[in-house]
Amino acid sequence: MPKPNTSEICRIHLFDDVEKLQNAGLSFQLQEKVKRIRAIYTIYIQYPLKKEKEICDMMMLQFKIDRSTVYEDIKLAKQLIGDFATSSKPWHRFKLNAMLDKAYDMAVKKQNPIAVSMVADKYGKYNQLDKEESERYPWEEIAVQQFEITSDPTVIGIQPVPNIKEKIAKMKDKYFGEIQDIEYVDVTIEDIFKNTPTELPSNE
């Protein structure tokens, strides 16, 4: 069984406490990476508009690591937010909603009803709140199930029959081999009535 990669390890242990993380059998380097990913993940959840440079400076100072390592951690943390890649639509949706929230707060503070209405309209349309739930189902995000053709019955829990091909051949010889061609005779309706008794037999 292949070992999980770094991304999978961080996903599994992202919210482990210190003791559980230490007992997970991970190297010290991996434990530290999980802690860094957790810190970045938490920052993005709380402050989705936070600039990467700000996060990078904070992480370098806190964990004493170089800039390239931090940017690798940032990329992985973004991937873990909903298991989406950095440039994916769900990630940008997440950021846009945060921007709209911020714009709404600013509009309210400035007592600008037109701006409030515009932001609310954008928020509703972007999140498709005007549509029925069934209409908003993300069909395009459904992954097509991949099937692989196999002649191995054990994949569905059935034990294979030994020498199955030979047994099938014998059954064919047994039953299909006895079939013979026979001649048939056309029968008309007159022939049927001609050979059918017109009176029921007596019980005497």
Enumerate the domain spans of the chain: 88-137, 153-187
The burial of 59, by beta-carbon neighbours within 10 Å (0-12 exposed, 13-18 middle, 19 or more buried), is given as buried
What is the structure's pLDDT at 132? 63
Query: pLDDT digits over 183-193, tens only?
Result: 767 777 776 66
What is the structure's pLDDT at 63? 92
The alpha carbons of the chain give a radius of gyration, in whole angstroms, of: 36
User: Taking a C-beta distance cutoff of 8 angstroms, is the pair 12, 36 a contact?
Assistant: no
Query: pLDDT digits over 1-30, tens only?
Result: 445 688 888 888 887 878 888 888 889 999
The model carries a pTM of 0.43
Answer yes or no: is pLDDT of 40 > 50: yes
% of the chain beyond a pLDDT of 90: 16
User: Taking a C-beta distance cutoff of 8 angstroms, is the pair 26, 19 a contact?
Assistant: no
Mean pLDDT of 58-66: 92
* Reported confidence tier of residue 35, pLDDT bands at 50, 70, 90: very high
Query: pLDDT digits over 78-123, tens only?
Result: 888 765 444 456 566 767 777 888 888 888 998 898 888 888 888 8
Chain-centre distance for alpha carbon 92: 20
